[in-house]
């Protein structure tokens, strides 16, 4: 049977691109996010081109520990073995100095990027143990490798993802589950629109004059990481646009 991948945050950006790229590679797709109508549209788009693709979509807010466990317990029988988990759901909220940051923004980032990733991993890893080729991909960030002005809490959550990626590799070693982190720089998705609470002009300015990465660029690298022979684990990849040297040093045209 083809490998089954569970992608969190598949309704947009990098997660959506992973679904499109991995469908072409023959994966069975379990796709979740809060915006179910987006998942249905994505499913229909994939099935138009690749009608043989098996796709299961379900609504999930990764911040809700009970809902996460219930969703995994309720997976139909044919979806109860997961070979690949892509911990992608995540977001930034605000770009404020620590002394004036909004507590609700901090809670949302910590609850989604750290606790959500943990809840999903805790619920899904038992479903991976029967797989002969299990692999977890954690989506970190350049913000998990360095800290930039006003990035404070978002950077802290992505540093936590970096630490959890290492911790998972240690704890899952004996189970033979591979664990890899992908740390992108600037990717043009809905990320900045979400960060700036729907301020589209401010979001567009982030990518102005920069040949930013696309979700597809990241998804293609993930497909490569997943396709290595079983004895190879790519631990950690930092992927930047050519025009971006650090989190904040960007060569704009």
Residues labelled catalytic: 154
The Cα diameter of the chain in Å comes to 53
Nearest Cα to 135, choosing from 232, 61, 62, 26? 232
For the window 124-153, what string marks contact with ligand 8X3 as x by the rule CB under 6 A? -----------------xxx-------x--
Nearer to ligand 8X3, 94 or 119 (CB): 94
Question: Which one of ligand 8X3, ligand NDP, none is in contact with 168 (Cβ closer than 5 to 8 A by kind)?
Answer: none
Q: Any contact of residue 247 with ligand 8X3 (CB under 6 A)?
A: yes
DSSP-derived secondary structure letter, 179:
E
Residue 195 structure tokens? 């960060």
- Inter-residue contact 82 to 2 (CB < 8 Å): no
Rounded Cα distance, 156 and 161, in Å: 9
Q: Which is nearer to ligand NDP, 1 or 74 (CB)?
A: 74
Residue 129 CA to residue 138 CA, distance in Å, equals 18
Closest contact distance (angstroms) between CB of 2 and ligand NDP is 23
Q: Which does 89 bind (CB under 5 to 8 A by kind): ligand NDP, ligand 8X3, none?
A: ligand NDP
CB 153 within 8 A of CB 105: yes
> Rounded to an integer, what distance in angstroms lies between the CA atom of residue 163 and that of residue 22?
26
**Of 79 and 191, which CB lies nearer to ligand NDP in the complex structure?**
191
Nearest-CB residue for ligand 8X3: 141
Q: Choose the one of ligand 8X3, ligand NDP, none that binds residue 94, judging by a C-beta under 5 to 8 angstroms depending on kind.
A: none
Q: What Rg do the C-alpha atoms of the chain give, in angstroms? A: 17
How far apart CA 2 and CA 25 sit, in angstroms, is 9
Do 7 and 86 form a contact (C-beta atoms < 8 A)? yes
Of 117 and 186, the one with the shorter C-beta distance to ligand 8X3 is 186
Q: What's the closest the beta carbon of residue 206 comes to ligand 8X3, in angstroms?
A: 8
The SS3 assignment for 79 reads helix
Residue 134: name its binding partner from ligand 8X3, ligand NDP, none (Cβ under 5 to 8 Å by kind). Answer: none
Choose the one of ligand NDP, ligand 8X3, none that binds residue 14, judging by a C-beta under 5 to 8 angstroms depending on kind.
Answer: ligand NDP
| Span 185-214, contacts to ligand 8X3 by CB under 6 A | 186, 191
The footprint of ligand NDP (CB under 6 A) covers 8-9, 11-15, 33-35, 38, 60-63, 88-91, 112, 116, 139, 141, 184, 186-187, 189-191, 194, 215
Those residues whose C-beta lies under 8 Å from the C-beta of residue 9, and which sit 6 or more positions away, are: 15, 32, 33, 62, 88, 89, 90
Here the tokens at position 160 are 């936590």
Considering the complex, state which of residue 71 and residue 177 has its C-beta at the smaller distance from ligand NDP.
71
Q: Min. distance of Cβ 141 from ligand 8X3 in angstroms?
A: 3
The residues that touch ligand 8X3, with contacts defined as CB under 6 A, are 141-143, 151, 186, 191, 247
């Amino acid at each position: 049977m083809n490998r089954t991948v569970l992608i969190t945050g598949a309704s947009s950006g990098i997660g959506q691109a992973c679904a499109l790229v991995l469908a072409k590679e023959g994966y069975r797709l379990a796709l979740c996010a809060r915006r179910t109508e987006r998942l249905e549209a994505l499913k229909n788009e994939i099935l138009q081109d690749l009608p043989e693709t098996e796709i299961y979509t379900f609504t999930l807010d990764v911040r809700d520990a009970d809902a996460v466990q219930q969703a995994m317990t309720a997976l139909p029988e044919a979806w109860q073995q997961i070979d690949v988990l892509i911990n992608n759901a995540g977001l930034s909220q605000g770009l404020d100095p620590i002394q004036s940051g909004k507590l609700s923004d901090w809670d949302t980032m910590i609850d989604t990027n750290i606790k959500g990733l943990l809840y999903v991993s805790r619920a899904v890893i038992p479903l991976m143990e029967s797989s002969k080729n299990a692999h977890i991909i954690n989506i970190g960030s350049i913000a998990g490798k360095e800290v930039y002005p006003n990035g404070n809490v978002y950077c802290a959550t992505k540093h936590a993802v970096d630490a959890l990626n290492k911790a998972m590799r240690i704890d899952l070693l004996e189970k033979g589950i591979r664990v890899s982190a992908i740390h992108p720089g600037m990717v043009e998705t809905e990320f900045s629109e979400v960060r700036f609470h729907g301020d589209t002009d401010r979001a567009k300015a982030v990518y102005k004059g920069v040949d930013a990465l696309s979700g597809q660029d990241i998804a293609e690298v993930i497909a490569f990481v997943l396709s290595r022979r079983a004895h190879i684990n790519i631990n950690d990849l930092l992927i930047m646009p050519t025009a971006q040297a650090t989190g904040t040093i960007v060569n704009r045209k």
